[in-house]
């Protein structure tokens, strides 16, 4: 006799929470294993699992218990309403970053008189920022870069699957895009200080690429480099949008106000009320 769906979810959730892991993953795993969406799963909670489903569910629960992210088991994460393939070579795109894209689109709409703009995403990872921007602003010419060849392979597959035309470049920060000038540059660079890793979930530290997460100099290393490099590649008017750590607002604002003395630099909070992005509007 197999278990009922709700019994298996309940058991797996409590195992996960006893290890301080995200217990919601049990429900998501069940959706994956039974191939049912949230609502229909809810309606079938008292049904019995098939033998195959039960075996798969517990095999994957064992993986979750090692800290493996549910997105690595189901193979994708949703971002801005679209599916993005993820694996251990890319950061799993976060909801905070959707807010970066949303604000960048809103500000760009006001700032530019034409739809024909050139946008670059530095450190694209899964391609989430570049691909979402292109889908929402189809007239834009979009480039995306990463230092990691492996990440770019994933981003390229995501662009294809989402039917977004993007030019990808491998290289260090602005190096691959410095022959051109840009209307919009967006980036979610690594910004966590290495010292913070001890307090972080092992789902993140052990399974997401460390070169996507950590940055020296209290997490400010990449903002310092970008503040130095970006003045040479921005048009007037133009927009820079950066995701930041919630305690980095003042420091990053200062860096960009110095690099662009005439610009309007603004810190914007995320849905949780935390400083999460910086926008730098460069005018005549
Ligand atoms: N943009 C994606 C997102 O928001 O989900 C990924 C962001 S992840 C925090 C940072 C990305 O920057 C990683 O994909 C990493 O490989 C890339 N990266 C790290 N150092 C870099 C460098 N020097 N030049 C370009 N990209 C870099
Ligand atoms: N927000 C991510 C996290 O909490 C970090 C993203 C980044 O370093 N840019 O793991």
Centre of ligand 2 to C-alpha 79, Å, is 15
Q: Quick one: average pLDDT of 177-193?
A: 98
What is the structure's pLDDT at 284?
76
Domain 5-74, classified CATH 1.10.10, yes or no:
no
Whether residue 204 has its Cβ less than 6 Å from ligand 1: no
Q: pLDDT tier at 1 (50, 70, 90 boundaries)?
A: confident
Q: pLDDT tier at 48 (50, 70, 90 boundaries)?
A: very high
Q: Quick one: average pLDDT of 36-54?
A: 95
Every domain of the chain and the residues it spans: 5-74, 89-282
| Sole residue written with tokens 């010419």 | 141
Nearest ligand, CA of residue 84? 1
Q: Quick one: average pLDDT of 2-16?
A: 97
Q: Quick one: average pLDDT of 48-71?
A: 98
The three-class DSSP label of residue 11 is: helix
Whether residue 189 has its Cβ less than 6 Å from ligand 1: yes
Q: pLDDT tier at 38 (50, 70, 90 boundaries)?
A: confident
Q: Quick one: average pLDDT of 93-119?
A: 98
Residue 94 CA, closest ligand 2 atom number: 1
Residue 126 near residue 151 (C-beta atoms within 8 A): yes
38 is in an annotated binding site: no
DSSP 205-265: HTTS-HHHHB-TTTTTHHHHHHHHHGGGTEEEEEEEEEE--TT-HHHHHHHHHHHSTTSEE
Q: Is the dihedral of CA 212, 168, 155, 253 positive or negative?
A: positive
Those residues whose C-beta lies under 8 Å from the C-beta of residue 258, and which sit 6 or more positions away, are 227
Same fold, 5-74 and 89-282: no
d(CA 209, CA 186): 20
194 is in an annotated binding site: no
What is the structure's pLDDT at 90?
98
148 is in an annotated binding site: no
What is the architecture, at CATH level 2, of domain 89-282? 3-Layer(aba) Sandwich (3.40)
125 is in an annotated binding site: yes
pLDDT averaged over the chain?
A: 97
Q: Quick one: average pLDDT of 97-110?
A: 98
- pTM tops 0.95: yes
The three-class DSSP label of residue 37 is: coil
Whether residue 128 has its Cβ less than 6 Å from ligand 1: yes
Centre of ligand 1 to C-alpha 189, Å, is 5
How does pLDDT run across 225-242, given as a tens digit for each residue? 999 999 999 999 999 999
What is the structure's pLDDT at 6?
97
């Amino acid at each position: 006799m197999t278990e009922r769906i709700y019994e298996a979810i309940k058991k797996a959730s409590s195992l996960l929470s006893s290890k301080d892991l995200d217990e919601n993953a049990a429900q998501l795993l069940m959706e994956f294993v039974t191939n049912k969406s949230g609502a229909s799963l809810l309606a079938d909670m008292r049904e019995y699992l098939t033998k195959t489903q039960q075996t798969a569910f517990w095999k994957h629960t064992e993986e979750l218990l090692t800290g493996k992210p549910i997105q690595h088991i189901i193979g994708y994460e949703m971002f801005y309403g679209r599916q993005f393939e993820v694996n251990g070579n890319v950061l799993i795109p976060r909801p905070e970053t959707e807010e970066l894209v949303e604000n960048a689109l809103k500000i760009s709409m006001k700032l530019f008189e034409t739809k024909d703009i050139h946008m670059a995403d530095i450190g694209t990872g899964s391609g989430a920022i570049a691909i979402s921007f292109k889908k929402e602003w189809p007239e834009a010419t979009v480039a995306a870069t990463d230092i990691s060849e492996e990440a770019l392979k994933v981003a390229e597959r995501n662009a294809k699957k989402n039917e977004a035309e993007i030019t990808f470049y491998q290289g260090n920060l602005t190096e691959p895009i410095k022959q051109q000038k840009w209307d919009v540059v967006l980036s979610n660079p690594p910004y966590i200080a290495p010292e913070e890793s001890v307090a972080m979930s092992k789902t993140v530290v052990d399974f997401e690429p460390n070169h996507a997460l950590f940055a020296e100099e209290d997490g400010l290393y990449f903002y310092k480099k970008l503040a130095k490099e970006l003045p040479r590649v921005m048009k007037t008017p133009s927009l820079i949008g950066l995701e930041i750590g919630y305690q980095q607002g003042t420091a990053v604002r200062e860096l960009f106000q110095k690099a662009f003395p005439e610009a309007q630099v603004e810190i914007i909070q995320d849905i949780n009320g935390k400083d999460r992005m910086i926008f730098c509007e460069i005018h005549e």
